[in-house]
Structure 1
Amino acid sequence: MQVTLSMITLRLCPVLLSLLTCSPHLLAGEVAQHGRLQVQGNKIVDESGSAVSFAGMSLFWSQWMGQFYTKETVAWLHTDWKVPIVRAAMGIEAGGYLTNSIREEEKIRTVIDAAIANDMYVIVDWHDHHAELHSQQAAEFFGRIAATYGASPNVIYEIYNEPLDVSWTNVLKPYANTVINAIRKHDPDNLIIVGTPRWSQRVDVAATDPIEDANVAYSLHFYAGTHKDVLRQQAQEALDKGIALFVTEWGTVNATGDGEVDTDSVNRWIAFLQSNQISHLNWAISDKREGAAVLQPASSPFGGWTDEQLTESGKLVRQLIRSWAR
């Protein structure tokens, strides 16, 4: 049988040419448009120097909702929800990375690879409340991730999810410098996000003694039912002092993760984020029976969710993300 070039192309397309010919949508994502993200003053900007603000989704603790750490979930979020950025929340304690390091790291790498394949940004999150006790493990983990993915502009490092009420200057900043140094040995310029005291709320405290690295932002977390004007005032103080903020986690409900959606408070927060061009990721891709979950119980771990399979929070957040000007 005579073999033609077109026949070869058809046979190779699923494996070798998918990025070029079979899946053209993969070339039209946010990373292709914006490139590597950088901190400039109190804003995060793209390679052209234009301020950017993304609305995305966070996955749940990896050890408890690991079924959603699939390439299909990431692809569905990108194509249906129009999510430009996803957060892989690697649980550390309570059966997470400290106990099952290989298993949990594999989940994170699956999400990273899927995000890159869909031309999305991905936040690699050390999801811990006591990371200062695990600085060696964190530095080793982020060093490996940076060695593998540091050349990819898709990857953002979140080195501490939510510190408790501990000292910024004496505890959190030294921890951050240790982990940042491990990353910078392999990746000199990708964005790093640093957690702040009191569940990543006291960004105003961090702003008084910032990290020296040129491409660091600071995480701000809020839950609309609990955190309102006072936290926004603290965030504004931090911005006024010149640091860049990144809301790597926010919820539509109470800080417990449960309760009713506080629509009025959500709207106030969204207005604040829009006016200050702050990126934000909602908590969480989960089918747990609680208000913050965006999915109904027993939802598919491979996407394809109908409106009926979304919770009240899920419907609100999906609409918000799809309509976000970015």
Structure 2
Amino acid sequence: MLSTAKKLLRTLTALAIPLTLLAGPASAARAGEPAAQPAADAIQWLSVDGNQIRDEDGRPVTLRGVSVLAPRHNAECGDCNPKPISELIDMSVDAAGGGWHSKVLRLPVTEWAPNDSLPLAENFARHVDPYVQQAIDLGIYVIVDFHRVQNYGDGNGGVPQSIVKEFWDYVAPRYAGVPNVIFEVYNEPLAPTNWATWKSYITPVVDSIRQVAPDNLILMGSPNWSTMVNEAAADPIDDANTAYVYHLYPNQGPSSVANLDQKFGNASRSIPVILTEFGWNPAGEFTDPAVTQGTTKCWGNGLRNYLDERPWISWTAWVFDNYWKPQMFDKNWNLLGGDHQGQFVKDWLGQLKDHNQPGTDNPPGAGDDLGVPPSRTGIVVDNTSPGYSDSGDWTTADTAHGFHGVDYKHDGSGTASAKTATFTPDLPASGRYNVYLWWSPNSNRTAAAPVSITHAGGTAALTVDQRTGGCDWGLLGTYDFTAGAGQKLTLSADSPGYTIADAVLFEPADGTDPGTGEELLVNGDFAAGLDPWYSIGRATPGTPAGGELCTAVAGGTTQTWDALIGQDNIPLTSGGQYALSFTASTSAPAAHTVRAAVESTDFPHPTQLDAYPRLTGEEQRYTYVFSPTDSLDAARLRFQLGGQAQPYTFCLAGASLTRRN
């Protein structure tokens, strides 16, 4: 923390910003106007105290903000709609009313760009000074980031120490005495992946900075893409005002407490840690599948909970852009929401805009929005709970994104087996309960995990597609239960693909049934005849009677789609929880399967639900819970009935498709 004498000195030095900085334009949008000096009381110096960053009065400070694109690269995307960096900076701090509330800006500085090479002085005059001055004008902190992603040292294609020192010998005196400016000495040194080697390489650079800029906060990266904070905690840099950088992406594993503790959380108990890069987006054009692919529900929520519970860890999210991945906007500057990170980070910054900010005590309510509130509450039976049991050899794991608790179990083989997992609650009172299942999704999961729920009125059978959805409570249904431990949910592993046994929630329904959402099928009880149901191929529907439609299916078909009935114009929202239910039977002498698919009408018809009910001569009720991967204005439901050598009759009744959340 700063002494009283140093506080007084701060007032004087803040007014003595180097003329080389103040001679530049205030921002790219304000060229020609005189640059404004920061007011003496506009912003406080930051300093390290143990594992915490603090302001001049000793208050804890949590820096939260975003990184922008390196300004020299702002016009590289040929099909993007670029915005000036100055406009992005204004957006990020709500200067333009956008609601972002970033309190720190990370400004990457690159000395290279395609087909371009600039001397430092010209680079700063064009691409750095205007934006540093803009941050000063806006009253926020700005991280000047030496944005190299490269080996270091004289060998192995590394950056010689002289290059790094030359950069900071130019930068440090330029911004010395400016409390807004923070120095990130090297974005991501790669190899050698040895902390002692890195410390020997970078210490002379720090010493050189301190000769001219004794008060600016320094952020210290580390080898292996700035991930060696555990080694730094054991042998820190000999500088009293240095915090340590960690860069985190979904390829490093789940956002679970155990994993993040191992990555940087344990180190943050003894040294100050700041995540100057993290980010995610789901599969698609806005992510790198090898590094940044993840979802808000399965990865972002866990990270926020972890960081909000540890406010001594500061952060800047990557990246406030529409081009570099994982971006927060599409190419036309529409904010990416849902399982993309943009809306999530914006809400996070807005909710905590007054929490742990320098120069002021936390106002009432500043910490009310710490963490992501649980979506549901009730009686939870986890795979580690006393009410859990299984048969067969289940495998315990903790590597998938988005599991519940400390770990989960899977059937270990991905092939159909007789293994079962049973969740038995000890219910405090009789009544109606909503029953939910939690699983971690993946493309290698089962498409139809059989679930049976034993309740006061009997047993309900349904299947769950564990390839999608998950990472939250998925509603299976609402049932009557009696108090005690006499009822259960059993999950079977007799469907191809890995079956996940993680957690079940029994939520008192309080007289409501969250499963009775809007009905999306029309005429599912066939009371109005056949319309709008239709048939294609070698399927001939009869006249509905008694709420049932029976369809004659010709023999000799080879593909399931050779004979089908269906219905179109079904709206679906990506990430929602849906349930398809129906009663069906067959006239065939032997049991056989048909395909029930909910899919896009657009080629190649991506499937949102792919189920294979096994039919017998007796009527059975089938329920399939699924979560669409795509938002569709007009999806279609099709019962594909072909692929049978002999003709038969397929009877359908009580068809229903509802959204459950």
Which residue is equivalent to 1:78? 93
Q: Deviations over 1:210-260 (max 9, x none)?
A: 1011001110111146433434323122123x2110111111247746535
Matched, 1:152 2:182: no
Matched, 1:184 2:210: yes
Matched, 1:173 2:199: yes
Which residue is equivalent to 2:52? 43
Q: Deviations over 1:265-288 (max 9, x none)?
A: 222222222222211111102212
- SS for the counterpart of 1:294 is coil
Q: Structure 1 residues 56-65 or 250-259, which shifts more? A: 250-259
Which residue is equivalent to 2:167? 141
Matching residue within 280, 294, 309 for 2:328: 294
Matched, 1:285 2:320: yes
Specify the code of the residue in structure 2 equivalent to 1:282: A
- SS for the counterpart of 2:301 is helix
Matched, 1:89 2:108: yes
Matching residue within 224, 228, 236 for 2:265: 236
Q: Do the aligned partners of 1:162 and 1:200 also contact (CA within 8 Å) in 2?
A: yes
- SS for the counterpart of 1:296 is coil
Specify the code of the residue in structure 2 equivalent to 1:237: N
- SS for the counterpart of 2:93 is helix
Give 1:197 deviation, angstroms: 2.4
Aligned-residue RMSD, C-alpha: 3.0
CA change 1:164–1:17 in 2 (3 A) is closer
Q: Do the aligned partners of 1:251 and 1:257 also contact (CA within 8 Å) in 2?
A: no
Work out the CA distance in 2 between the residues paired with 1:281 and 1:73: 15
Give 1:309 deviation, angstroms: 4.3
Work out the CA distance in 1 between the residues paired with 2:123 and 2:344: 30
Which residue is equivalent to 2:303? 269
Work out the CA distance in 2 between the residues paired with 1:211 and 1:77: 32
Specify the code of the residue in structure 2 equivalent to 1:86: L
Give 1:126 deviation, angstroms: 0.8
Give 1:117 deviation, angstroms: 0.8
Give 1:163 deviation, angstroms: 1.8
Work out the CA distance in 1 between the residues paired with 2:185 and 2:193: 16
- SS for the counterpart of 2:341 is helix
CA change 1:82–1:158 in 2 (3 A) is same
Specify the code of the residue in structure 1 equivalent to 2:321: S
CA change 1:154–1:162 in 2 (3 A) is same
Work out the CA distance in 2 between the residues paired with 1:27 and 1:162: 34
Which residue is equivalent to 2:351? 323
Work out the CA distance in 2 between the residues paired with 1:150 and 1:121: 14
Give 1:293 deviation, angstroms: 0.3
CA change 1:18–1:36 in 2 (3 A) is closer
Matching residue within 233, 246, 264 for 1:220: 246
Which residue is equivalent to 1:128? 148
Q: TM-score, normalised by structure 1?
A: 0.79
Specify the code of the residue in structure 2 equivalent to 1:72: E
Which residue is equivalent to 2:189? 163
Give 1:64 deviation, angstroms: 2.4
Matched, 1:245 2:273: yes
- Structure 1: 5+ residue stretches without partners: 1-13, 20-25, 300-307
Matched, 1:314 2:342: yes
- Structure 2: 5+ residue stretches without partners: 1-31, 76-81, 154-158, 282-286, 357-661
Q: Deviations over 1:65-96 (max 9, x none)?
A: 36666333212211231111001111245549
Work out the CA distance in 1 between the residues paired with 2:247 and 2:35: 41
Work out the CA distance in 2 between the residues paired with 1:184 and 1:297: 41
- SS for the counterpart of 2:165 is helix
CA change 1:318–1:198 in 2 (3 A) is same
- Of Structure 1 and Structure 2, the greater strand share is in 2
Which residue is equivalent to 1:55? 64
Work out the CA distance in 1 between the residues paired with 2:83 and 2:272: 30
Work out the CA distance in 1 between the residues paired with 2:93 and 2:116: 27
Q: TM-score, normalised by structure 2?
A: 0.41
Matching residue within 209, 213, 220 for 1:194: 220
Q: Deviations over 1:134-172 (max 9, x none)?
A: 422222222222212111100000011112242444432
Q: Do the aligned partners of 1:59 and 1:68 also contact (CA within 8 Å) in 2?
A: no
Give 1:99 deviation, angstroms: 5.6
- SS for the counterpart of 1:284 is strand
CA change 1:257–1:235 in 2 (3 A) is closer
Q: Deviations over 1:45-77 (max 9, x none)?
A: 111111111220001244323666633321221
Work out the CA distance in 1 between the residues paired with 2:60 and 2:168: 27
Which residue is equivalent to 1:11? none
Q: Which has the higher contact order (CA 8 A, sep 6+)?
A: 1
Give 1:263 deviation, angstroms: 2.8
Specify the code of the residue in structure 1 equivalent to 2:233: A
- SS for the counterpart of 2:42 is helix
Work out the CA distance in 1 between the residues paired with 2:143 and 2:218: 9
Give 1:178 deviation, angstroms: 2.2
Give 1:123 deviation, angstroms: 0.4
Give 1:38 deviation, angstroms: 0.7
- Of Structure 1 and Structure 2, the greater helix share is in 1
Q: Do the aligned partners of 2:251 and 2:292 also contact (CA within 8 Å) in 1?
A: no
Work out the CA distance in 1 between the residues paired with 2:62 and 2:266: 19
Specify the code of the residue in structure 2 equivalent to 1:321: L
Specify the code of the residue in structure 1 equivalent to 2:165: A
Work out the CA distance in 2 between the residues paired with 1:248 and 1:144: 23
Work out the CA distance in 2 between the residues paired with 1:236 and 1:126: 25
State the identity as a percent. 28
Which residue is equivalent to 1:65? 74
Work out the CA distance in 2 between the residues paired with 1:239 and 1:258: 23
- SS for the counterpart of 1:32 is coil
CA change 1:125–1:17 in 2 (3 A) is closer
Work out the CA distance in 2 between the residues paired with 1:166 and 1:121: 32
CA change 1:209–1:97 in 2 (3 A) is farther
Matching residue within 114, 130, 135 for 1:115: 135
Specify the code of the residue in structure 2 equivalent to 1:314: G
